[in-house]
Structure 1
Amino acid sequence: MTRTIRDESTASAYWAAVNTFCALHDVHVIADAPVGCYNLVGVAVMDYTDAVPYLENLTPTSLTEKEISSSGSTQKVQGIIEKLKNEKKELILISSAESEMIGSNHTMMLRHSYPDVHFFDSRSLGENEWQGRDRALVWLHEQFDDGRPAEVEPGTVSIIGPTYGCFNSPSDLAEIKRIVEGCGLTIKHVYPFESNLHDISDLKNSDIVIVMYREFGQTLADLLGRPVLQAPFGLSETEHFIENLGRLTNRQKEAAAFLTLEKKTILKPIWDLWRGPQSEWFPTIRFGVVADQTYTEGLKKFLSQEMGMACLFNHNSQTTNNNDVREELANQQPQFLFGRMADKIYLAELGAKTRFIPAGFPGPIVRRALGTPFMGHSGAVYLLQEIVNALYDTLFHFLPISMRSSEGPIETKKITWTKEANAILEEIVKKAPFISQISFGRDMKKKAEALAAKQGKETVTPDILHMLK
């Protein structure tokens, strides 16, 4: 049975390879890709954001119809290698969907002519970006680990995960670093974001390994044979995370002291908001999430289980059907939607009063400042602050603001409503977010009365409302 795919939000494993390998400082990537295929990621517009900076260590073979239809890409690849072989960087050649379709596996050619150049089959046709990132990290370990037994350095922590194209990486990474260092521990490596190839062999010497994302990185972490912790969301997870950092490194006292300080400083705004009148809003808030697994699960746990807000739905963008997302938004509009650009478009198409908060790519958003974390204690404060400010902004629109006009008041005929029309209006308003229902109902009433007047009617009937739906 044919299934229509709407607004694909997950890239292929080709992009995963580029985003992973190009993050390493001493690597130059050769993309066996057609003219223009590399350009999206190369000039940082794959997600319409600077989550991927301009990549100076990415060179394409720029395949044309000639190579794809007849000669193959071997000669192009050899020409690029000759130009780059004197660079003081490791060369990694990766396949693209197009080169895979014509069977351009360069393993044998490289082995005979360029043994120092590595080939990574991205499996672009069969794997998505999260599968690709996970396998790329494992492949790097297989190729460049020295194979020596681990020599663990006590009190050190390595973080696995941050690569180009990951939503909110700078802020969330800064928060995890802050927590680790607050417990008296030392950051050994941030891999691959702040690493070189020679750091790969040193990862296994870390006292603890932290995996930033649930989508990828766990496979590599398991290979290292060290205790592994998952980067936390919310209050409870972060508290347990800090306690585990102390327990696993025999620094329980330092971790306990840091946690006590956190509650008096970083977390104070949450306590203040909880004691204030704003907390009365929390049980009335209905929210939805459409994002990568890490953010989908994290947001639901914090906002729903800890803050008492109602989660109407949460969709993992890797597996969800966007048609279902759009249909769900049409049936029940949350007050807040954490999502991607596609979800913002769906809201606009529906004329929804929902407040949109970016929580994933693709999306036209810059997330390079370090003050917008979602993870950890700082993330909990930031998220709650954004929600409360948005609620105040919603209330602003209830104010009876008078617009200045040189014209006198416009006389309008009084429009009456039938009992049936009022009942339909009530049902429509119930679908709007709770705190917006007053303004939403007022707007709907004005539109219905204006349409009735335009049609020369003095009464709003059910058919008028059906025209507005």
Structure 2
Amino acid sequence: MGKTVRDESTASAYWAAANTFCSLKDVHVIADAPVGCYNLVGVAVMDYTDAVPYLENFTPTSLTEKEIASCGSSEVVQELIEKLSAPHRQLILISSAESEMIGSDHERMLQMKFPDVRYFSSNSLGENEWQGRDRALRWLFEQFDNRKAAAVEPGTVSIIGPTYGCFNSPSDLAELKRLIAGAGGKLKHVYPFESTLFDISDLKNSDIIVVMYKEFGSELAKLLERPILYAPFGIEETKNFIHSIGDLIGNREQADRFLHLEKQTTLRPIWDLWRGPQAEWFPTVRFGVIAGKTYAEGLETFLAHEMGMQCLFSIDGAKADNTTIREELRQKQPQFLFGRMPDKIYLAETSAATRFIPASFPGPIVRRALGTPFMGHSGTVWLLQEIVNALYDMLFNFLPIQRRTEPTEIPATKVSWSSEAESLLQELVKKAPFISQISFGRELKNRAELLATSQGKNTVTVELLQQMK
């Protein structure tokens, strides 16, 4: 019997192609795809958020049973091409899983009738969205490069990576731009988010390439044969990123000045929080991450290696075994979980007290504001601020507030505890967030003694405690 896959972690390469090509302003995508859910990317939003806006440059062929079962999709594709053709508009036809299953390959037909229209086989059945984005970015450059020799413009920096459907792209992109400018670099292109086919060739003329995500973009960056930097997380990586830009453009003094200013301004809250009493909580914080590789590794780097928090696990969502994750969350509940909507569901199934912080798609989360970065120095401040505020909120919930409710019931008679039950109680309390362990233990003990009294027992046993789980 084959393995059952619980909750697919990534979309297919079809979505990758749509999200990549539609980011270019002068491209119109024709998706050889059926009626139904494949229209969502064109008329709604990916992951039920506004991470993907309404795509006016996307048209599906809306395959029906007729095309799939008998005549194929060639006729409807030709009709759409004739309808959508216009000056200064590049048409790109992409395949879907359904069109690939019926063997729709339009390469020859396009060469004969519409030589200006390009065909991209998304390999939807064989690749996930990160593999698909990587191949789509490289394909675009290979198709539309002007074939001229590179003429590198000193001091220029281009960013490869941000496409529709990427978690937190606007905010993290804004932080990358800020760091590049501060270090003395001149931003040339953001590809493909802020590009057109006309300026794709200019990528090779950049002095430095910054790859925003570890999941994709590296293939194209290597093809360009320029120095490559990756988007930084945490304090040390960001310092090295700033210094690297300064060194590569020959202006280390500007980078040093910017870094000195950053310590006095952007990073100041980190120092203030570190000197405050809440810093004593940091070593007690247990967190887990299930996200894209970039965010999974970046959060562990900053929170665990630099802030000294306890990382229970850091998992690349594309390689996640969701059944194992679900069981692990049931066994050991972190105080904070950075993750996806499936992970939030797993926490709800166990009534966990874990604070969930979105860090990846899929999930109904809007992240279009520029003030919620994970990357760079601004990201360190925002992340630590969120955690400290959540810790204060957690503490508030356990304050001995006089509530307008019935007084808490206490056992009428004294109840003893077996040594085994005492040991189990201590183990259960250790699983609770550190700040709330005293209150949690007191409440659990009171409930156990009330249960013993209601059953006519004068001793709390392991069996009785297990009835409360």
SS at match of 1:47: helix
What letter is aligned with 1:52?
V
What letter is aligned with 2:93?
L
Closer, same or farther: CA 29–413 of 1 in aligned 2, 3 Å: same
Residues 445-454 or 132-141, more deviating: 445-454
What letter is aligned with 2:155?
G
Q: CA contact under 8 A between 1:413 and 1:458: conserved in structure 2?
A: no
Q: CA contact under 8 A between 2:398 and 2:436: conserved in structure 1?
A: no
Q: Distance in 1 between matches of 2:106 and 2:133?
A: 21
Q: CA contact under 8 A between 2:9 and 2:320: conserved in structure 1?
A: no
What letter is aligned with 1:225?
E
Any residues of structure 2 matched to 1:206-355 within 5 Å, and which? 206-355=206-355
Tell me which residue corresponds to 2:191.
191
Tell me which residue corresponds to 1:416.
415
Q: Distance in 2 between matches of 1:389 and 1:115?
A: 58
SS at match of 2:92: strand
Please give the per-residue CA displacement for 1:334-386, whole angstroms capped at 9, x wherever unaligned.
11111111111111111222111111111111100000000000001111111
SS at match of 1:38: helix
**Aligned residue pair count:** 468
Please give the per-residue CA displacement for 1:152-178, whole angstroms capped at 9, x wherever unaligned.
111111000000111110010000000
Q: CA contact under 8 A between 2:44 and 2:54: conserved in structure 1?
A: yes
Please give the per-residue CA displacement for 1:229-275, whole angstroms capped at 9, x wherever unaligned.
10100000000000000000011111111011001110000011111
Q: Distance in 2 between matches of 1:101 and 1:320?
A: 27
Q: Distance in 2 between matches of 1:88 and 1:451?
A: 76
Q: Distance in 2 between matches of 1:66 and 1:452?
A: 68
SS at match of 1:23: coil
Closer, same or farther: CA 445–188 of 1 in aligned 2, 3 Å: same
Any residues of structure 2 matched to 1:415-434 within 5 Å, and which? 416-419=415-418, 420-434=420-434
Tell me which residue corresponds to 1:58.
58
Q: Distance in 1 between matches of 2:177 and 2:360?
A: 22
Closer, same or farther: CA 417–140 of 1 in aligned 2, 3 Å: farther
Question: TM-score, normalised on structure 1?
Answer: 0.96
Segments of 4+ moved more than 4 angstroms? 407-412, 449-459
Please list every run of 5 or more consecutive structure 2 residues that lacks an aligned counterpart in the other structure: none
Closer, same or farther: CA 223–465 of 1 in aligned 2, 3 Å: same
Q: Distance in 1 between matches of 2:378 and 2:408?
A: 51
Q: Distance in 1 between matches of 2:320 and 2:416?
A: 42
Q: Distance in 2 between matches of 1:294 and 1:82?
A: 42
SS at match of 1:300: helix
Q: CA contact under 8 A between 2:183 and 2:243: conserved in structure 1?
A: no
Q: Distance in 1 between matches of 2:439 and 2:26?
A: 56
Q: CA contact under 8 A between 1:291 and 1:340: conserved in structure 2?
A: yes
Residues 451-460 or 347-356, more deviating: 451-460
Q: Distance in 2 between matches of 1:319 and 1:117?
A: 35
Q: CA contact under 8 A between 2:410 and 2:450: conserved in structure 1?
A: no
Any residues of structure 2 matched to 1:6-85 within 5 Å, and which? 6-85=6-85
Asked whether 1:113 is paired with 2:120, we answer no
What letter is aligned with 1:254?
Q
Q: CA contact under 8 A between 1:415 and 1:460: conserved in structure 2?
A: no
What letter is aligned with 2:389?
N
SS at match of 2:91: strand
Q: Distance in 2 between matches of 1:288 and 1:354?
A: 10
Q: Distance in 1 between matches of 2:88 and 2:36?
A: 26
What letter is aligned with 2:415?
T
Deviation of residue 411 (structure 1)?
7.8
Q: CA contact under 8 A between 1:44 and 1:51: conserved in structure 2?
A: no
Deviation of residue 179 (structure 1)?
0.6
Q: CA contact under 8 A between 2:421 and 2:461: conserved in structure 1?
A: yes
Deviation of residue 413 (structure 1)?
2.9
- Quote the sequence identity (%): 69
Please list every run of 5 or more consecutive structure 1 residues that lacks an aligned counterpart in the other structure: none
Deviation of residue 103 (structure 1)?
0.2
Closer, same or farther: CA 323–408 of 1 in aligned 2, 3 Å: closer
